[in-house]
Chain A
């Protein structure tokens, strides 16, 4: 119930291509869905986030697509660049819970963008 499942585990994309990472969840109480980006030797940093009342959110080359009925959400990276090479984590949380800051993370996707 508390799990977030992420796929694929690793992804190789050519420069200029589209990177797509998918996540699925079971707990319908989740109301906040962030994506975090992690570079080697660094901590995760918030990339973009969405709430379940919208189906899509775009920030620059990064877009979250959200399908509430299917309980799935995905990250699309348009015009992928070598500088996007990193590990990406989807996550979910429940704002009104007793542990309001707790994030349930997916397993992570290592993205490599080839020049």
Chain B
């Protein structure tokens, strides 16, 4: 089954404790990105990657890092989480030839 998976689905942490949210897709997509969803703001892009070893900032990159060492994986790293990073996070992927983006199930993060 074609899908985007994220782990963990739920995470509660404390300020300053480094964490990683994993994302993996099995569709051989070149393009991957991370969004955060906040009430009244819709989804906003954090980082994106056009292919392996090619990453760039989206609209709200502060406090986040990413890497793309393999085509299928695109982890999101919060080196020192803060309460304003409490949000619902989605990973997405797409082929460079088609616009349809496929979203993962989401990771709900609470930073205390």
Given A43-B4, A43-B90, A106-B42, A101-B33 contact (CB < 8 Å): yes
Q: How far is the CB of B108 from chain A (nearest CB, A)?
A: 9
Top 10 A-B pairs ranked by shortest CB distance? A43-B103, A105-B42, A101-B31, A105-B43, A107-B42, A44-B103, A101-B94, A46-B100, A43-B105, A32-B99
Task: Report 17 cross-chain contacts, Cβ distance below 8 Å, ordered by A residue.
Answer: A36-B103, A42-B106, A43-B90, A43-B104, A43-B105, A43-B106, A44-B103, A45-B103, A46-B101, A99-B48, A99-B58, A100-B31, A101-B31, A101-B99, A102-B33, A103-B43, A108-B40
The residues of A that contact B56 with a CB separation of less than 8 Å are 99
In Å, the complex CA distance between A25 and B43 comes to 16
Which residues of chain B have a CB within 8 Å of any CB of chain A? 4, 31, 33, 35, 40-45, 48, 50, 56, 58-59, 90, 92, 94, 96, 99-101, 103-106
**Interface range on chain A (Cβ under 8 Å from partner):** 20 to 34
The residues of A that contact B92 with a CB separation of less than 8 Å are 43, 101
Task: Indicate if the CB atoms of B40 and A95 lie closer than 8 Å.
Answer: no
Total contacts A-B at CB 8 Å: 64
Task: Indicate if the CB atoms of A44 and B43 lie closer than 8 Å.
Answer: yes
In Å, the complex CA distance between A46 and B33 comes to 16
The residues of A that contact B4 with a CB separation of less than 8 Å are 43
The residues of B that contact A95 with a CB separation of less than 8 Å are 99
Which residues of chain A have a CB within 8 Å of any CB of chain B? 2, 4, 6, 9, 32, 34, 36, 41-46, 49, 89, 93, 95, 99-103, 105-108
Give the one of A34, A36, A100 with max B CB within 10 A.
A100
Determine the residue in chain B with the shortest Cβ distance to A34.
B99
The residues of A that contact B58 with a CB separation of less than 8 Å are 99, 102
The residues of A that contact B96 with a CB separation of less than 8 Å are 100-101
In Å, the complex CA distance between A103 and B35 comes to 10
Task: Indicate if the CB atoms of A9 and B40 lie closer than 8 Å.
Answer: yes
In Å, the complex CA distance between A89 and B90 comes to 14
In Å, the complex CA distance between A88 and B56 comes to 28
The residues of B that contact A93 with a CB separation of less than 8 Å are 99
